[in-house]
Amino acid sequence: MILLGSTGSIGVNALVIAERFSLNVDTLVAGRNIELLNQQIQKFSPKRVVVLNEEDIKHVNHPHVRAGEAAILDAIEASESQFVVNALVGFAGFRPTLKALECGKRIALANKESLVVGGAFVDTTNIVPIDSEHFGLWYLNQTPRPISRMVITASGGAFRDWPIERLSSATLSDALKHPNWSMGQKITIDSASMMNKLFELLEARWLFGEGEYDAVIETKSIIHALIDYVDGSTTAHFAHADMKLPIAYALMGKVDEPILKPANFLEIGSLEFREITTDRYPLWELRQELLANPARGVVVNAANEVAIEQFVVGQITFLELSKRILNAYEYFEDIPTSVEEIFEIDKRVRHYVRGM
């Protein structure tokens, strides 16, 4: 495989599966965690390595190391591997997805932004989703029946139990205190604002086609997806929150041996579902609009990435983060008609939000 984002949680779990099933790791692409990258190089002996920054090359223990986006694209094209795991974070993962598809490679996709910004121009027939929610929908869909609605679940993020009036004083440290698990900075903030779930609904729309999509909060994160059928019945996908299961299916095609321990319902005891409301999650008011106009995801993604940068450095408050995204969505009515326009709109939205 070609593994993009090898030192993140998805990448680490992908390598666990690669080791378990003796899969070849052809290329490793990593960010700033050079210590972990060197450990991965020693264990998996990749042919080529790419890092984010040029200055880190000298610290990498490998004879063939390059840096930057162009190097990632070259590595995808040069590799004989026909399988790419794209676990890069943010808009930076879009070009590699396009390159992999252009080269006829199959993609295990964790970079949801690839579909959020460019779903209209991405052939999803060569994409296998490895987000737990989309894997859950796929898993439930293995026995086709007429569907009325697909539902994914949300944890609710760091502020799900906060009094609404306290949100105005929420700090970065507060936003990073996820109630269920530890994740990277951006996705944890996206979880707190509910942007992550908006992105996942858009991703589901591109993966599974037109239809009705929604999300609910399930506080224990043991259910990842539900499907309502036309006949009035509903099925749910229960599994412990562990990315090794969807990764194993993506890499192996099928799995005939235990990957996780089954959910113990006596230990779980009870389940709690909550509605996602706009007073706690203002961005949720975009749900129906975005699903009706999914090509406008490029606007929301660009505004979100800049607003998060501003929140992280203390330039804006947590509530202002959502306000800036909503402002940008109202200001830009652009619908890209080509891949080139996606990059142009992305630049203009980022410039606009930085100037607020």
Cα–Cα distance for residue pair 118/294, rounded to 1 Å:
9
Best CA proximity match to 290, nearest among 337, 325, 339: 325
Burial class (CB in 10 A: 0-12, 13-18, 19+), 69: middle
The tokens describing 146, both together, are 């007429």
Strand partners, 215: 152
| Token couple for 266 | 């006596």
Q: Which stretches within 21-131 are classed as H helix?
A: 34-44, 69-78, 94-102, 113-118
Cα 130 → chain centroid = 9
Beta bridge partners of 216: 153
Q: Which CATH superfamily is domain 2-129 in?
A: NAD(P)-binding Rossmann-like Domain (3.40.50.720)
- pTM for the whole thing? 0.92
Give the residue among 290, 284, 292, 354 at the shortest CA–CA distance from 322.
284
**Token pair recorded at residue 303:** 């505004």
Give the model confidence (pLDDT) of 116-126 as tens digits. 999 999 999 99
pLDDT exceeds 80 at position 342 = yes
pLDDT tens digits, 234-291? 999 999 988 899 999 988 888 888 899 999 999 999 999 999 999 999 999 999 999 9
Domain boundaries, the chain: 2-129, 134-292
- Contact in structure between 84 and 294 (CB atoms under 8 Å): no
* Mean of per-residue pLDDT scores for the chain: 94
**In the predicted model, is pLDDT for residue 182 greater than 80?**
no
